[in-house]
């Protein structure tokens, strides 16, 4: 009994820390979502579920949700394809492989603000290098292309995460499996399909889950892209709109309701994903 009490006492500081740093902000956010509260000035008024009703009736919320889904889904698919492809290449032996691997992860270590500034220069429609090199006249930050630019910058920045995770797993696949398949006459494509891909499944599951959460809640990249110009309404994803509602409309309550809904959407999507994965595993 005394041992159990001592155990509880020992974990108490950690529990208190988690409660203070994680649970309290979340609980406060949920509490705020039931109030009409200015973002900065004191005083609030309890309004029950009115913030949620207003959010669900707000066409701008649905539009930002749609834009957020377009952004996150396209970036996740492209990161997976490019990241896995790059990992397969970098798993092969060739001269200066170490250097190429180091260069490949470079975008991931560049701070987002630096990455965005670099790309804003490269894609500037009047004086940018991309338009100059390809002799094109694309308005990368205008209405028609700003989402493409955002996806491009995000994929460039985050595909190395997929690369690293997949490469790490590729290096642990037993070479005997490939040798046996070769002896059996399996082509490169069949070896990839029947050995590599199943071996990567577990890591890809985690990668897709993490990247989905991170891309759906991504705020800094779209926000930085529209500073000092940029057709903001066309990349006003849900995190951006939530921020605006809170700090530009000064509606902390409404902003919190949107953040709670965003959280619930992610929980629901994760639960469905996990269930599908389990079913797949059982099969």
Partner 1 sequence: MRTIGLAACLAAALAASPALAQKVIRVWHTETQPNSQEAVKNIARRFEAKHPGVKVEVEALAWGDLEPKIMQSLAAGAPPELSHGQPITCTALQSKGLLLPLDEVVKALGENNIWDQVKRVCRVGNRQYGLVHAAGTSLLIYRKDLAQKLGLKPPKTWADLVANAKAFSTQGMAGITIPGDNLFINILLGELVKANGGLLFDKQNRPQVGSKPVLETLDFIRDLTQYAPKGWEGHGYLETFTNLSAQKAAMMYQGYGRGASLIEKNAPPNLANAEHFDVWVKPVGPSGSEPAAQVDEEPWMLFKGSKNPKEAIEFLKFFYQKENYLEYVQTVPIHLFPITKSLRADKDYQATPMIQRWKSWIEVQEGYLNKDQGKPTLVVDWDDMNSKPYLMEVLGSGILRDMVMDVALEHKPAKDAAARAQKRLEELLKTKGYLK
**Residue 45 parent element (H or E):** strand 44-46
DSSP β-bridge partners for residue 251: 38
Q: C-beta of 12: minimal distance to partner 1 in Å?
A: 30
Q: Considering only residues 94, 106, 127, 134, which one is a binding residue for partner 1 as defined by CB under 8 A?
A: 127
Taking CB under 8 A as the binding criterion, the range among 88-96, 138-146, 214-222, 273-281 that sits at the site for partner 1 is: 138-146
DSSP β-bridge partners for residue 46: 35
Binding mask 49-88 for partner 1 (x = CB under 8 A): -----x---x-x----------------------------
CA–CA separation, 78 and 71 (whole Å): 11
Q: Considering only residues 126, 171, 172, 282, which one is a binding residue for partner 1 as defined by CB under 8 A?
A: 126
Does position 29 bind partner 1 by CB under 8 A?
no
Cβ neighbors of 229 (< 8 A, separation 6 or more) are 141
Cα-only R_g, the chain: 23
CA–CA separation, 224 and 219 (whole Å): 9
Q: C-beta of 233: minimal distance to partner 1 in Å?
A: 6
How many helices (H) and strands (E) would you count in the chain? 15, 2
In the complex with partner 1, the residue whose CB is nearer, 36 or 74, is 36
Q: C-beta of 67: minimal distance to partner 1 in Å?
A: 13
| Interaction residues for partner 1, span 223-242 (CB under 8 A) | 226-233
CA–CA separation, 19 and 25 (whole Å): 9
CB atoms within 10 A of CB 191: 17
CA–CA separation, 157 and 167 (whole Å): 17
Does position 257 bind partner 1 by CB under 8 A?
no
Taking CB under 8 A as the binding criterion, the range among 23-31, 80-88, 132-140, 271-279 that sits at the site for partner 1 is: 132-140
Does position 141 bind partner 1 by CB under 8 A?
yes
Does position 139 bind partner 1 by CB under 8 A?
yes
Does position 143 bind partner 1 by CB under 8 A?
yes
**DSSP string across 27-44:** HHHHHHTTEEEBSSSS-E
Give me the residues that bind partner 1 (CB under 8 A), please.
36, 39-41, 54, 58, 60, 124-127, 137-146, 226-233, 244, 247-251, 254
């Amino acid at each position: 009994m005394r041992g159990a009490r001592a155990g509880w006492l020992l974990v108490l500081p950690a529990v208190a820390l988690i409660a203070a740093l994680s649970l309290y902000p979340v609980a406060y956010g949920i509490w705020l979502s039931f109030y009409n509260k200015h973002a900065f000035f004191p005083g609030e008024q309890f309004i029950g579920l009115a913030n949620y009703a207003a959010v669900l009736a707000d066409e701008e919320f649905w539009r930002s949700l749609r834009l957020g889904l377009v952004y996150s889904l396209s970036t996740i698919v492209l990161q997976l394809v490019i990241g896995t492809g790059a990992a397969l290449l970098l798993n092969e032996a060739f001269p200066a492989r170490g250097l190429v691997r180091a260069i490949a992860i470079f975008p991931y270590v560049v701070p987002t603000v630096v990455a965005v500034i670099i790309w804003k220069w490269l894609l500037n429609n009047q004086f940018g290098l991309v338009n100059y090199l390809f002799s094109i006249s694309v308005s990368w930050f205008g209405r028609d292309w700003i989402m493409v630019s955002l996806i491009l910058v995000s994929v460039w920045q985050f595909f190395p995460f997929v690369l690293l995770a997949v490469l790490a797993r590729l290096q642990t696949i037993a070479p005997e499996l490939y040798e046996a398949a070769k002896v059996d006459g399996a082509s490169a494509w069949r070896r990839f399909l029947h050995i590599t891909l199943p071996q990567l499944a577990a890591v890809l599951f985690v990668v897709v889950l993490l990247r989905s959460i991170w891309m759906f809640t991504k705020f800094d990249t779209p926000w930085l892209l529209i500073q000092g110009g940029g057709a903001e309404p066309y990349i006003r994803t849900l995190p951006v709109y939530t921020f605006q509602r809170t700090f530009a409309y000064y509606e902390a309550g409404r902003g919190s309701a949107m953040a709670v809904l965003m959280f619930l959407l992610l929980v629901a999507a994760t639960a469905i994903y996990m269930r599908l994965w389990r079913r797949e595993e059982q099969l």
